[in-house]
Structure 1
Amino acid sequence: MSQSTDAGEKPGVRLDLGHARPARSASRSGPAITCDDVRVFYKKHLAVRDVNMTFARNEVSALIGPSGCGKSTVLRALNRMNDLIPGARVEGMIRFEGTDIYGEGVDATEVRRRIGMVFQKPNPFPKSIYENVAYGPRVTNMQVDNMDDLVEEALRKAAIWDEVKTMLKDSALALSGGQQQRLCIARAIATKPEVILMDEPCSALDPIATLKIEDLMADLAEEFTIVIVTHNMQQAARVSQRTAFFTAEADEHGDRTGRLVEYDDTAKMFSNPSDQRTEDYISGRFG
């Protein structure tokens, strides 16, 4: 990537920010999720520390950084997916709509219904397209007036209805990779979440399918808060309003711990980052 070399100007990275929407004011739109001094452990190992960040409603936030810096660990902590890993624990506080999601008496299943997850590799169930979308509402005993309408609504919001409306009884496994990922997004939408987490949702897709997912994210942000983990700097610049950069530090024993370095408006992060480590990473000098 080319860097600016004007005298007295911080280098930065030339990325296309022309399509990026400006970040909203967190005080105006209100926070969806707030992380206060969050640390995540896997048994005795401190995997990530010092996470303080706020995700505003109806924004796309991108988490970037080298492998092993804790991006996905933080993402999974936001809806208690780490609970499913033996020995994992979270310290600090993660508040969703003002409630500590790790607080006593909080139902982890309800947290995951309201904060949905889309994984790196498309993972449709070996069921029909229809049953994939209907699965979540059924297993969570959602009150649904008309399941057909709900399935159609979710598929429309995931921009795949027109492609599958005549084959709803067919196996979801017959869809292309990009279609499968949009189906998985529809499956997440079907449970009526407020937040959608995406862990490198385009890494297994071709450029055309990737563009469709990126366009879809912009549309979905009108209704949902989206947090995405990505290794693609151009993608972070294209789809997000805020970007967080994580890095990993090794102790004297060689154990690596991730930490949040910087979290700011995407345009500022990619043109004039506050921390030299961020500048080095996005300009390709390390990572």
Structure 2
Amino acid sequence: MTTADSHLTADRGRRSPSIKIEASRPLPAVGGQPDGVISLRQLSVYYNDFRAVSGVDMSFSSKEITALIGPSGCGKSTVLRCLNRMNDLVPGARVEGRVAYHGADIYGAGVDVIEVRRRIGMVFQKANPFPKSLYDNIAYGPRVTGMKIESMDDLVERALRGAALWDEVKDKLKDNAFGLSGGQQQRLCIARAIATSPEVILMDEPCSALDPIATGKIEDLMTELASEFTIIIVTHNMQQAARVSQRTAFFTAAADDKGQRTGALVEYAPTEQIFGNPVDPRTEDYISGRFG
């Protein structure tokens, strides 16, 4: 088994190791960006006959925050959901091109999708805690994936500390998660995501429903988590992208002769360049508010 194979097959002693995937192959760098934790090559996404995104090439580096920005309907959330095969749950969705995690194609034959989602966690736009206690919310992922845990109590505490929530809820672990505020619920969902020890955390507009104070706490948390995790965030908040990310990708959409709008990657560069000296005039127009 290759190193890449081991990333997408179940851990020995934790789940059956019988899943096999296609052998990985080297991927070239794109636009000077070295091959990263996750790499996309000519990624296109379709919903039935509608092409939502076309020809995306990019790589995400380890322990960095990457922001995906662009107007509504440009495909940035669609791309995000491809990174842990969340689009598999959408009827009629299909992916062309390649999405590689450490060089292994996550859409390859025999890939363990549950293991992909354990390695690449997801936090959604709206906080979605389970109708369970805080403790059971955190313990849910490790339990259903069969992780070998020496102490679930310790794991729950570590996850809540990692999400900067422990001090606020340590005496309420048996309470229903719905009793938390909106910002606390979102941090609980982040704790739930990191409880399964992922390497990558995907965040789809995680602050869009939060007030400025709660948003600030989530942004501070993202900055702290980036020392341990690779984070990829979709946001409509330009200031947020500028504050928290090291690299920014700008997407837009163009209409074809049938009037269908297809998303495409316009520019991907260090955040300082995107906001200070973008190469493509469409990026500058969007950043400056002239369109979008």
Q: Is the pair's TM-score, using the shorter chain for normalization, greater than 0.5?
A: yes
User: SS of 2:58's equivalent?
Assistant: strand
Output one character per residue of 1:11-57: Cα deviation in whole Å (capped at 9) or x when no partner: xxxxxxxxxxxxxx965xx6110001100010111100121001000
C-alpha offsets along residues 144-183 of structure 1, whole Å, 9 cap, x if unaligned?
A: 1110000000000000000000000000000000000000
Secondary structure of 2:262's match? strand
Question: 100, 107, 111: which is aligned to 1:102?
Answer: 107
**Between Structure 1 and Structure 2, how many residues are aligned?**
261
> 2:143 aligns to what?
138
The 3-state SS of whatever aligns with 2:37 is strand
| Residue segments in structure 2 that go unaligned for 5+ positions in a row | 1-31
1:1-287 alignment runs, 5 A limit:
27=34, 31-287=36-292
Task: Write the letter of the residue equivalent to 1:130.
Answer: Y
Deviation at 1:278, TM superposition (A): 0.3
Q: Deviations over 1:168-201 (max 9, x none)?
A: 0000000000000000000000011000000000
Please tell me the residue identity of whatever aligns with 2:81.
R
Give the superposition deviation at 1:107: 1.0
In 1: Cα distance, 2:91 partner to 2:207 partner: 28
Bigger relative contact order, structure 1 or 2 (CA pairs below 8 A, ≥6 apart): 1
Structure 1: 5+ residue stretches without partners: 1-24
Q: 1:41 is matched by which residue type in structure 2?
A: Y
Tell me the distance in 1 between the aligned counterparts of 2:284 and 2:263: 17
Distance 1:117 1:128 in 2: 20
The normalised TM-score by structure 2 is 0.88
Amino acid at match of 1:219: E
Name the SS for the 1:39 alignment partner.
strand
Offset, 1:97: 1.3
CA distance in 1, matches of 2:70, 2:170: 39
Per-residue CA distance 1:216-264 (angstroms, 9 max, x = gap): 0000000000000000000000000000000001112111100000000
- Runs of 4+ aligned structure 1 residues displaced above 4 Å come to none
Measured against aligned partners, the alpha-carbon deviations of 1:102-155 in whole angstroms (never above 9, x if no partner) come to: 001101111011000000000000000000000011111111111000000000
Name the CA distance, whole Å, in 2 between partners of 1:134 and 1:245. 36
CA RMSD of aligned residues (A): 1.0
Q: TM-score, normalised by structure 1?
A: 0.90
